[in-house]
Structures are given as structure tokens and as C-alpha cells.
Amino acid sequence: MPKGEKKKVVVIGVGFGGLQAIKKLSKDENLEIVAIDKKNHHLFQPLLYQVATAVLSPADIAIPTRSLIGDKKNVTVYLGEVEKVDIQAKKVYFQGHAENYDYLILAAGAKSGYFGNDHWKKYSTGLKSLKDALSIRTKILTSFEHAELAGDPEVAKKHLNYVIIGGGPTGVELAGSIAELSHEIVRNEFHTIDPALAKITLIEASPRLLAAFAPKLSEFAKKRLEKRGVEVLTGTKVLDIDENGVKIEGRMIPSSNVIWAAGVQANSIGASLGVPIDRMGRVVVDEYCNVESHPEVFVIGDIASYSKGLERPLPGVSPVAMQQGRYVASLIRGDLKSKKRKPFHYMDKGSMATIGRQDAVAQVGNFKMKGFLGWIAWLFVHIFYQVGFKNKISIFITWVWAYMAFRAEARLIQDEVEAPTNSNVPN
């Protein structure tokens, strides 16, 4: 490449994959990087459930994007939603603006997917963003308050029914955390009701929880959840979700607190590229994370379907996105030096899921941990991968206090309560 001529790289999405790519690309002065994201913060998604259950505050797991990469001279950050990508013209359109590129990295992530039952969105809440986490937190905390005010034990019970759909790590972690919140942490703070009467139901369609883990770890997680008072229903399909609750074969589970953790769907911008996608809307990529016939267009993370040499596509987890982000950045920098490209190879660093206080499961290849040791490993891994020194310290201190005092101090309901329009207050 001629001296002084810069190549422009547009990165859509500053999640785990996008951030890693930008950090590595920014070290090359021959590159101009444009980062576009519809959020102004980088989010540590694995701990969203702790915001949803009032253990952590939003600022503990999110950090402003500009504070991470805004000071890099060859990186320009835009807040905006990408409306269209024209891979023939090499243009990205967002917020009434058009940006040309030499290379494109699409790392736009995923959203909750309902397997074609999009009407279920109205009666359930997914967990993919801070907005989702705060919505769940408000519903849970408000349900305690409604139950306290009800005056009728049967009415109170209806408010304290929580249903989590999906027995992967997110569902397991949410179920365990809600059980601890209701059965232990806030139990002595209400006097009309007993929050320990809360009923938490975890539903999984496949035969066992945590399908990506060894069967022994799945069974361990199930037993520990049941010990915490969670009803675990495996091999159970959801037939419908409506204003009354969740319908499964043989019965209806009444609940106004339904959390969806069963599936994800790729960001719709991927489908607009006009290239092959899979049934989850993920863009099919080759061994270099490129889309078909476009070596300058890379798709990584949750929005990519990478299956070269594998039985099934790589999972939508943060280690995959981070490794792909670093990989495509290396390819682009290598292109500038006319280096031959080498295929992407994922190094599986294992899986983890926490069940609750002093309980977690972890698996790296044939090496497995459970219980207290798994929990300690889970704590340190999540601290290590957290972005930002302040956030690491804040989370560590919060966790130490929560462990010692068995408290969840982020129990703030942001909305004010309004009096009902049909109030019986006399004139």
C-alpha cells in the first residue's frame, strides 16, 4: 500500500467482538476506523441478570463507548442505528448519513428470538439490554409491593409467580437469583406477605438444563435449583404465552412475570445484505469470517453463522465474538502487508453458569468444576473479562458486600406509583 494512503474500516456494533477489533485496528496508523452503535455504551452482557435481580447497578456492567475508544486518534465514534448496508457500493447508511468503507466488520449482535411466535413479546421480557434488565427488575420489585398491598393471600400469590423460559445459562442464573432474592434477601422486609411464598418456575424444552454442559453438571444444576425452591420443568414445550401466564401441555401456569431466555435471533441488518443466512437470521460466513464473494466484508459474533469444519455453528457467546474480533483485525492489518490469510480457529475456553450463592458449574474440555470451586472460578473469570478498572473494582466490592451481608442493594424502582383511575376515595 502506498505510503500515506489510509484504508477505512467501518465497524457496526461495539460489543465484545467489535470492541476487540477496534482496539487492535487502532494500533495501525494506516487505518481509519469508524465505529457505529445504536447504544452509547459497551455492555458486559453475562452479568445482565444481576442488574435484573438488583445485585448490580447498570453502571457496574456498562461503560461509555467513547471512554473506551474515543481518545484514539484514528477512531471516530457515531451514535446511530444502521438502516442499510450496500455491499456492492461499499456504503453504510445510518441516521441520514452515508459512510464509505474499504473494509466492513458487522458485529451488530442479536436480540431475543421467539421461534416465530412474536406475539409472545407482549407478555414476556427478554434479557439482551440494560433496558430489558431494568424492566425485569421493576417487574420483580413491583410484584412484591403489589402482593404486600393486596390484602388477600390468594391474590398475593398471583403476584409472586415468576416463570423463566429457557434452561441455558441465562435462565438458570435468573432462576437461582430470583429464588435467593425472594426466599432469602427480602424475606424479613415485608410484614403482610412472606416473599418466600414466591413460586419460581424454570421451563426448558430439551431433556435437561444447560445442554452444552456435561450431563452430570446439568443434573447438579437442576438439583441445586430445586433445593432453592425452583420448580424445574425439562422436556416441556411452551404452547402459548398470554395475559394470564404460560400455557404448557396439561396446564396453565398463571403469571404476570414471564422472562424469555429461550432463544435469540440475529440483528435484522444481517438479512439486508442479500447474502445467505441461517434459520436464526445469522449471516453464513466462510473460514475467514467473510460473506460470500466479499473478502472485504466480515461478520462476527452473534450475527455470524460460522461452521467451517464443525458439526454445528459456533455458539453466540462472548469468547467467540472476542476471538473473531481480534482475528479479523489481524487479517485486515495483514492485508495491508500483503500477507496470506489463514482460516479462523476457535479456541474453546469452556462454559460457566452460576446457580446462586456458592454454587456454579464450569467446564473446560474434560475438566469440570461444580459447587463452591465452580463459583469461585466463575467470580474471578467474570471480574477478569469485565471491561474497565473502575467496573472491576465496583463489582468486586459489591459482590464481597452481597456475600457477607446477603443483600441486594440495587433495589430501586425508577418509576413512581400512580393512583388508580377507579379509586374508591370519597369526594
SS3 for 318-373 is HHHHHHHHHHHHHHHHHHHCCCCCCCCCCCCCCEEEEEECCEEEEEECCEEEEHHH
Q: Which amino acid is at 367?
A: F
| Residue 211 sits in the same domain as residue 275 | no
Contacts of 266 (CB under 8 A, 6+ apart): 108, 109, 110, 111, 277, 280, 281, 282, 283, 302, 303
Are 252 and 178 contained in the same domain? yes
- Residue 312 DSSP one-character state: S
In a shared domain, residues 255 and 268:
no
DSSP 3-state of 385: helix
Cell readout for 289 is 469470517
Query: Residues 135, 213: one domain?
Result: yes
Q: CA 77, 386, 181: angle at the middle one, nearest 5? A: 120
Is residue 128 located within the same domain as residue 248?
A: yes
Give the pLDDT score at 2: 54
- Both 141 and 254 in one domain: the answer is yes
SS3 content of the chain, % helix, strand, coil (to 5): 35, 25, 40
Q: Are residues 283 and 254 in the same domain?
A: no
Facing residues of 137 across strands? none
Co-location of 63 and 180 in the same domain: no
Last residue of a domain, one of 262, 287, 321: 262
Please check whether residue 382 lies inside any domain of the structure: no
Look at residues 336, 367, 390 and tell me which one is the last residue of a structural domain. 336
Distance CA 276, CA 308 (A): 15
Does residue 408 lie within any of the structural domains?
A: no
CB 330 within 8 A of CB 340: no
Question: Residue 405 falls within a domain, yes or no?
Answer: no
Eight-state DSSP code of residue 107: -
In a domain, 409, yes or no: no
Indicate the number of domains in the chain.
2
| 265 and 280 Cβ atoms separated by less than 8 Å | yes
* 276 and 220 within one domain: no
Per-residue pLDDT at 4: 60
Compute the Cα dihedral for 282, 287, 289, 293 and give only its sign.
negative
Asked if 165 and 387 count as a contact pair (C-beta separation under 8 A), the reply is no
pLDDT number for residue 311: 87
The single-letter code of the amino acid at 353 is A
For position 54, which CATH number holds? 3.50.50.60
Where does a domain end: 310, 336, 362? 336
Residue 42 pairs in a beta bridge with 63
144 shares its domain with 223: yes
In the chain, the largest separation of any two C-alpha atoms, in whole Å, equals 83
Q: Do 240 and 271 lie in a common domain?
A: no
Please tell me the distance from the alpha carbon of residue 292 to that of residue 354, in angstroms, as a whole number: 39
Amino acid identity at 150: A
CA separation, residue 415 to residues 40, 134, 275, 391, 419 (Å): 23, 11, 44, 26, 13
Q: Quote the pTM value.
A: 0.90
Q: What does the block give as the cell for 272?
A: 439486508
The CATH number covering residue 205 comes to 3.50.50.100
Question: Going by DSSP bridges, is the β-strand pair 82-86/75-79 parallel, antiparallel, or unpaired?
Answer: unpaired
Residue 348, in any domain of the structure: no
Helices (H), ranges, 196-297: 215-227
**Is position 231 within any domain?**
yes
Does the residue 356 lie in any domain? no
3-state SS class at 88: coil
Residue span of the structural domain in which 148 resides: 118-262
- pLDDT reported for residue 122: 94
pLDDT of residue 234: 97
Q: What is the chain's pLDDT, residue by residue, as a tens digit (427 residues)?
A: 555 679 999 999 999 999 999 999 999 999 999 999 999 999 999 999 999 999 999 999 999 999 999 999 999 999 999 999 999 999 999 999 999 999 999 999 998 989 889 999 999 999 999 999 999 999 999 999 999 998 777 788 888 999 999 999 999 999 999 999 999 888 888 888 888 889 999 999 999 999 989 999 999 999 999 999 999 999 999 999 999 999 999 999 999 999 999 988 888 899 889 999 998 899 999 999 999 899 999 999 999 999 998 988 999 999 999 999 999 999 999 999 999 999 999 999 889 999 988 899 999 888 999 999 998 998 888 888 888 777 888 888 888 777 766 778 788 888 787 777 766 666 6
Q: Which of 99, 173, 180, 204 is catalytic?
A: 173
- Using alpha carbons, select from 107, 60, 166, 27 the residue that is nearest to residue 304: 107
Looking at the structure, tell me whether residues 126 and 104 fall in a common domain. Answer: no
How far is residue 45's CA from residue 39's CA, in Å, rounded to a whole number? Answer: 13
| Residues contacting 417, CB < 8 A, separation 6+ | 145
Give the position of cell 404460560.
246
**Assigned domain for 393 exists:** no
Please report which helix (H) or strand (E) contains residue 238, including its range: strand 238-242
173 flagged as catalytic = yes
